[in-house]
Each structure stands twice: as C-alpha cells, then as structure tokens.
Amino acid sequence: MADERKHEEPLPNLDPTFTRFSAAENRLIYFMWKNKKVSGGATVSWVLFELIEYHLLALLCHLMIVSLAALFLWSYVTMFLSAILGLWILSILGGCCSFLTLAYIALVLLFTVPLIYDKYEDKVDSYGEKAMADLKKQYAVLDAKMLSKIPRGPLKNKKKV
C-alpha cells in the first residue's frame, strides 16, 4: 500500500494560472478568496440576507415584479396589475416569515384543501354561492355610489362593414 501512495498524483497548487480544478478545489478557491468576484458576490448576498434581514422570497418577488414591468409593453394591463398585486402580497408574506415556512404551509394546503373540498363539497359550494352573491351586492353598491359618478368620455361608434 505504501507503494501505491507514492504513485498517486499530488494535489495541484492553488495557483491562479492552473485552470483544471476538481469541484472540491473550486470550492476551496472560493472560500480562500482566490476568485474575488465570486467570493465578493457571496459576501454581498450574505450582507443582504443576514445583516439587512432581506428575505429570499421577497427578493425573488421583487425581481419578478421588475421583469413583469419590462414585459408590460407586450402584455395586457389587467393581467399585469393582477400579477403585480399577487407578487406584492407574496413579497409581504415573505417578509413576515421565511421561505421554508411558506413552502411548508403551501405544501400542507396543497394536500388538505382538495381533501376537505371532496369531503364537504355541498357545504363549500353553498358558502361559495353566498359569497358570490354578497360580492355582487357589494359591487352594485360600489358601482352606484362611486363608479357611476366617474365621468366618461364619448364612446366611438364602430362602423359596421
């Protein structure tokens, strides 16, 4: 066995000119700050998440909001605003609890809500119908009090061919 060890290739020096590293050596290079760009990015992300207490879910939602804003030119306004509102609410939830907690809650809901709906389908449907009726009543009140008072410009008549 001693002879076999003599024939093994020694680990290469951590010389920046050496370009062929194994995965373990690459990690060692990052931890030893041999590649300052990658190691600096790790430090910036650590400062962002630990010292400033910014959450990953909030960051992802804000990045998606910015990307949706860029895609706004190619999409519909209502779909854009609903997506922005959903991501904003998810961002607020992400600031309140960690991503792991939200993922666990989503997983539990994913498995329990269909089971509860299957078991109590008639009751859930009746409550849903009552809720829709109440929402329609509230919308009628809102429309009568506020939306109908908003001045609108003249409608353009479409020419029939």
pLDDT in tens, 89-117: 888 887 888 878 878 888 888 888 888 88
Among the residue ranges 18-27, 62-71, 122-131, 138-147, the one predicted with the least confidence is: 18-27
Write down which residue in 54, 69, 85 finishes a domain: 54
Q: What value does the mean pLDDT take over residues 139-156?
A: 78
Residues 62, 22 share a domain: no
Residues 108, 140 share a domain: yes
pLDDT confidence of residue 67: 87
Residues 86, 110 share a domain: no
Total number of domains in the chain: 3
Write down which residue in 38, 72, 97 finishes a domain: 97
Residues 130, 107 share a domain: yes
Percent of the chain at pLDDT > 90 equals 12
Tokens 């429309």 appear where? 143
Residue 113 to residue 126: CA distance in whole angstroms: 16
* Buried-exposed string 61-85: b where 16+ CB fall within 10 A, e elsewhere: beebbeebeeeeeeeeeeebeebbe
Mean pLDDT for all residues in the chain: 75
Classify residue 117: in a domain, yes or no.
yes
Question: What's the domain range around 76?
Answer: 57-97
Residues 66, 43 share a domain: no
Q: What value does the mean pLDDT take over residues 48-58?
A: 77
Residue 83 to residue 79: CA distance in whole angstroms: 6
Q: How far is CA 158 from CA 119, 154, 161, in A?
A: 51, 12, 9
pLDDT confidence of residue 137: 94
Q: What value does the mean pLDDT take over residues 31-40?
A: 61
Classify residue 161: in a domain, yes or no.
no
Q: What value does the mean pLDDT take over residues 144-160?
A: 71
Residues 103, 86 share a domain: no
Classify residue 109: in a domain, yes or no.
yes
Residues 103, 143 share a domain: yes
Residues 127, 109 share a domain: yes
Q: With 70 as the cut, is the pLDDT of residue 36 above it?
A: no
**Hey, what are 45's tokens?**
């992300």
Residues 22, 49 share a domain: yes
pLDDT confidence of residue 22: 62
Residue 37 to residue 49: CA distance in whole angstroms: 18
Q: What value does the mean pLDDT take over residues 148-156?
A: 72
